[in-house]
Structure formats: structure tokens, C-alpha cells
Amino acid sequence: MRARGTPGASALRPVGNDPRMTTRGLALIAAASLAPAAGAMATPLPDHLIRPGVGAGGVRLGMSEGEVLKVLGQPDTRVPRRTGLGAFIDLAWPGITVRRWDGAGGRVVNIAITDRGIRMRNGVGVGSSRAAVRKALPGTDCDESPRLCMIGEAIPGNTVTTIRFGRTKRVTEVSVGRVID
């Protein structure tokens, strides 16, 4: 053992009745018990941000389904949809639904957020009041019918971020999407 006063001496001091167990040994055991298993880190968590015109929850417009799965893991549901605009696949997890074109190479065209924990950098997200949205996003185009605010112009090819409000004038959904028609 090192003499008192030398660097690291306290780390090698015996702990309890076992002279082989030192404070450094206890620290290593504690660190190892807090480290996650290797497989637990395989699926990164979403970044909890809504980026207007870009994406949300770690998912970006234009990603492939494989790229989305790397970010969010396997979806709870995978539902094919057909609209007047074409065929889509909706991939859903609690609080986030990702819509992509159907078919090989189908890319993400919309990300809908209902999770209160995923927000814009300015704090706007599900649960925000209409007044808070207008204050945080001055100049945003807002309508009463339907109850929504939109960031970006709804012109085919553009990206828009739509903030939908419920009857209580609180945000119920934020979606980032590409205008198709």
C-alpha cells in the first residue's frame, strides 16, 4: 500500500474486514453495475426534438424505413393506407407515427407527434396553449377552422409543420411533412 499523502493512497485503503477489498475496487464494481448491457444500447433513443420542416423524435423526412427502425426500433403497428394521393405505410410507436410511401424505397413523408415529451427548441409541443404557440412562433399562420397553425407554405414539394389544437385550445398533435398535392 502507498503511504498516506501520496496520490491514490485513499483509493487503496482497505474497506471493511476484507483487506483485499479497496475503495478503488468498490468504485469499479459500482461502475460496472451501472453500465448498461451491450445489447441495451443497440437502439438509440429519439432526440426528443421537433425540428420544423426537417423531422421529429430523431426521424427526418426522406428517411427509409430501415433508417427509421434504427432510430426507433420495431413499431407497435404497421398499417398500410390508401388515400387519393397514393399508397402509404403508417409505422406507429407510442406518441409518434411515421408515414412513408408504400413500395420499395418508400421514403418518410410525414411524422406526427402526440408525445408531450417531444418538443421544439422553444418548448412548443403537445399540451402547449394556443397563446404560447403564437408567442413562441410570431408570424405563424394560424386558423380557427380547422384549428391549426402552420409553419411553411402549403405548396407541393415544400415541407410544413402543422400544429393542431383541440377544443381546449391546446396542442394535440404536431406533424412535420412534405406537401404532396
Cell of 100: 412513408
Q: Find how far residue 97's CA is from the centre of its chain.
A: 11
Q: Where in the chain is the domain with CATH 3.40.33.10?
A: 50-178
Torsion of CA 164, 166, 170, 173, to 10 degrees: -40
Contact 134, 149 (CB under 8 A): yes
pLDDT digits (tens, 9 = 90+) for 68-82: 999 999 999 999 999
How many residues are present in the chain? 181
DSSP letters of 11-55?
A: GGSEETTEEEEEHHHHHHHHHHHHSPPGGGGSSPPP--BEETTTE
Read off the DSSP letter of residue 57: T
**CB contact burial 2-31 (16+ within 10 A = b; e otherwise):** eeeeeeeeeeeeeeeeeeeebeeeeeeeee
CATH topology of domain 50-178: Pathogenesis-related Protein p14a (3.40.33)
Read off the DSSP letter of residue 129: B
Q: What is the mean pLDDT of the chain?
A: 80
| pTM (two decimals) | 0.73
Task: Pick the range with the lowest mean pLDDT from 14-23, 52-61, 73-82, 135-144.
Answer: 14-23
The band of 11, judged by pLDDT with boundaries at 50, 70 and 90, is very low
